């Protein structure tokens, strides 16, 4: 079995690897490190969690051991799609570069330009950046890329999904033609293949496992649910999520819960916290310092549930994640592979649940086509209130109280007994001869037993202004 000591790495790098607790390289590391040390371009295709970050940081540190950084002219460049992934690459660099004199700078959004400019002005050997922030510094005249010797593109397919490909092409054109390029991706879309054919020179291609495959260490479970109404789907899925958490109990040590929309991320996190679970959201709209604190809490175990958008799906090195929940079925099939790849890492076992409704059928078909396998269906642990009875006709309810006019019209008239004598009709003249009464007097008189004319249909308590006679008002005028 090959060890890191067989890969011609710098002795200081080998010492740092040993201190980190690693002894045996992963397949992607074993395939990518030797040609990278020879100065060749590398095209690495491997799913998340296979050690791609060390595949380029270890040879970079060895190759950059000789030389000196110059102000505003980094010697190497690492491009990452998200702030979190860029920060993680920086952490790995710090781990493996112990004992060396190499300097690094991290250029990401949410951090002051002034602090980043100061680092660049002092000169850095390794510049780790997201494409947008890198171009911002370049356009402000604070950065030159003509001294780049090694350029790394990490999670290239995620760059494609986020619309960064035009920026990547522009950055490639800013760097020298003689640079060495290390290009890594989990999948190989046609657009990615076009980029590699254009900017890589006779690369060494390393493809670990079948493209677009899922790890055998992950147990995949599909939970199907058909809500009574479409607008009830999200609410029902939150209850299903809680039921699974309660059912799995202590086996569910921690979990990442993926949602398609940022608003849903916040809603699910709030729901879990309301029900007594330790959960926090993470997505692109949150402040960078808050995102960093949340990730740190999840890594050290003080946070049990991380509710995330796809910003956390790629490349984040979060060890020992026992469960993954696809609260929403991803609209891009490739995201399914990256999401569930957050568990079952480094040979450990993991469980990935996917909650689906009938409207997710086309997305599930795309996932099955991509991974070339069925997702086993599991038992839904939650039943909607009433169970099957909800599909039956609802029981008749008592009519709601309505206005007096509606009640008087809908109320059936009581039929008089057949033997009862017919009530005598009053002549109009008799009504006109009756003495006029003031409205308040008429109302008061009826309460005292007066049999004066009544307003029909308004009950016993009739406001006096309704009983006023407009005829007598005109005669008084």
High-pLDDT (> 90) share of the chain, %? 55
Long-range contacts of 116-124 (CB under 8 A, 24+ apart): 117/142, 120/71, 120/72, 120/74, 121/71, 121/72, 122/71, 123/68, 123/69, 123/70, 123/71, 123/72, 123/73, 124/69, 124/74, 124/75
Q: The tokens 């099955």 sit on which residue? A: 368
Residue 269 lies in a domain: yes
pTM: 0.66
> Hey, is 209 helix, strand or coil?
coil
pLDDT at 155 over 60: yes
Of 285, 369, 372, the closest CA to residue 332 belongs to 369
Domain final position from 207, 232, 251:
207
Residue 114 lies in a domain: yes
Q: What is the mean pLDDT of the chain?
A: 83
Q: What is the pLDDT of residues 387-434, one digit of tens each?
A: 543 333 444 444 444 444 444 444 444 444 445 455 445 444 444 444
Assess whether 451 and 355 both reside in one domain.
Answer: no
Domain final position from 183, 207, 231:
207
Over residues 216-223, the mean pLDDT reads: 94
Residue 277 to residue 327: CA distance in whole angstroms: 16
Residue 344 lies in a domain: yes
Over residues 355-371, the mean pLDDT reads: 94
Name the percent of the chain in helix, strand, coil, to the closest 5.
Answer: 45, 15, 45
Q: Could you tell me if 370 and 337 are in contact, meaning their C-beta atoms sit under 8 angstroms apart?
A: yes
pLDDT at 366 over 60: yes
Q: φ and ψ at 232, to 5 degrees?
A: -95, -5
Q: What is the pLDDT of residues 323-350, one digit of tens each?
A: 999 999 999 887 898 889 888 876 789 9
Q: Look at residue 288 in the predicted model and tell me its pLDDT.
A: 78
Assess whether 58 and 178 both reside in one domain.
Answer: yes
Assess whether 296 and 445 both reside in one domain.
Answer: no
pLDDT at 189 over 90: no
Assess whether 145 and 192 both reside in one domain.
Answer: yes
Burial, 329: exposed, middle or buried (Cβ in 10 Å; 0-12, 13-18, 19+)? buried
Torsion on CA atoms 42, 45, 47, 48, rounded to nearest 10: 30
Q: What is the pLDDT of residues 6-50, one digit of tens each?
A: 999 999 999 999 998 888 899 999 999 999 999 999 999 987 667
Which is more confidently placed, 73 or 419? Answer: 73
Residue 140 lies in a domain: yes
Total domain count, the chain: 3
Q: Look at residue 405 in the predicted model and tell me its pLDDT.
A: 46
Assess whether 364 and 442 both reside in one domain.
Answer: no
Q: Length of the chain in residues, anyone? A: 477
Assess whether 261 and 380 both reside in one domain.
Answer: yes
C-alpha gyration radius of the chain:
37
Q: What is the CATH number of the domain that holds 55?
A: 3.40.50.300
Assess whether 180 and 238 both reside in one domain.
Answer: no
Which residues touch 154 (CB under 8 Å, ≥6 apart)? 52, 53, 56, 78, 79, 80, 81, 85, 89, 184, 315
Residue 310 lies in a domain: yes
Residue 289 lies in a domain: yes
Half-sphere exposure of 402 (CA within 13 A, CB side): 9
CA distance to 8, 105, 303, 328, 365, per residue, from 14 (Å) = 9, 23, 33, 42, 45
Q: Look at residue 252 in the predicted model and tell me its pLDDT.
A: 95
Domain span at residue 232?
A: 218-384
Over residues 289-304, the mean pLDDT reads: 90
Q: Look at residue 455 in the predicted model and tell me its pLDDT.
A: 52
Residue 312 lies in a domain: yes
**Distance of alpha carbon 131 from the chain centroid:** 22
Q: Look at residue 441 in the predicted model and tell me its pLDDT.
A: 45
Assess whether 199 and 222 both reside in one domain.
Answer: no
Domain final position from 341, 359, 384:
384
């Amino acid at each position: 079995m090959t060890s890191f000591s067989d890969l011609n790495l710098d002795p200081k790098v080998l010492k740092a690897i040993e201190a980190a607790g690693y002894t045996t390289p992963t397949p992607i590391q074993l395939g990518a490190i030797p040609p990278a040390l020879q100065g060749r371009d590398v095209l690495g295709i491997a799913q998340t969690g296979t050690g791609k970050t060390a595949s380029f940081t270890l040879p970079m540190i060895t190759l950059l051991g000789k030389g000196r950084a110059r102000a505003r002219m980094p010697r190497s460049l690492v491009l990452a799609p998200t702030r979190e992934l860029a920060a993680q690459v920086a952490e790995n660099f710090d781990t493996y570069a112990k004992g060396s004199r190499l300097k690094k700078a991290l250029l990401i959004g949410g951090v002051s330009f002034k602090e980043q400019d100061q680092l660049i002005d002092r000169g850095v050997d390794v510049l780790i950046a997201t494409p947008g922030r890198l171009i911002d510094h370049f356009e402000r005249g604070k950065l030159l890329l003509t001294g780049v010797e090694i350029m790394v593109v990490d999670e290239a397919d995620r760059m494609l999904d986020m619309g960064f490909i035009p920026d990547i092409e522009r950055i490639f054109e800013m760097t020298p033609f003689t640079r060495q390029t290390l290009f890594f991706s989990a999948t190989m879309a046609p657009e990615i293949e076009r980029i590699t054919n254009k900017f890589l020179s006779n690369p060494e291609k390393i493809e670990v496992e079948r493209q677009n495959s899922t790890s055998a260490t992950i147990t995949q479970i599909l939970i199907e649910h058909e809500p009574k109404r479409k607008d009830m789907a999200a609410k029902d899925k939150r209850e299903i999520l809680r039921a699974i958490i309660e059912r799995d109990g202590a086996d569910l040590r921690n979990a990442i819960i993926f949602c398609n929309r940022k608003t849903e991320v916040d809603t699910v996190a709030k729901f879990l916290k309301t029900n007594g679970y330790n959960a926090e959201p993470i997505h692109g709209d949150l402040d960078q310092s808050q995102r960093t604190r949340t990730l740190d809490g999840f890594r050290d175990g003080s946070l049990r549930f991380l509710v995330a958008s796809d910003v956390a799906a790629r490349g984040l090195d979060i060890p020992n994640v026992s469960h993954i929940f696809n609260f929403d079925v991803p609209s891009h099939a490739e995201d399914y592979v990256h999401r569930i790849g957050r568990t079952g890492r480094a040979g450990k076992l993991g469980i990935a649940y996917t909650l689906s409704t009938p409207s997710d059928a086309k997305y599930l078909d795309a996932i099955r086509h991509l991974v070339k396998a069925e997702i086993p269906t599991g038992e839904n642990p939650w039943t909607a209130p009433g169970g099957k009875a909800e599909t039956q006709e609802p029981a008749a309810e008592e009519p709601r109280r309505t206005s007096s006019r509606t009640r008087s019209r809908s109320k059936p008239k009581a039929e008089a007994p057949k033997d009862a004598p017919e009530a005598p009709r009053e002549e109009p003249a008799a009504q006109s001869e009756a003495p006029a009464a003031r409205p308040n007097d008429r109302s008061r008189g009826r309460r005292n037993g007066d049999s004066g004319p009544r307003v029909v249909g308004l009950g016993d308590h009739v406001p006096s202004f309704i009983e006023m006679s407009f005829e007598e008002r005109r005669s008084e005028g």
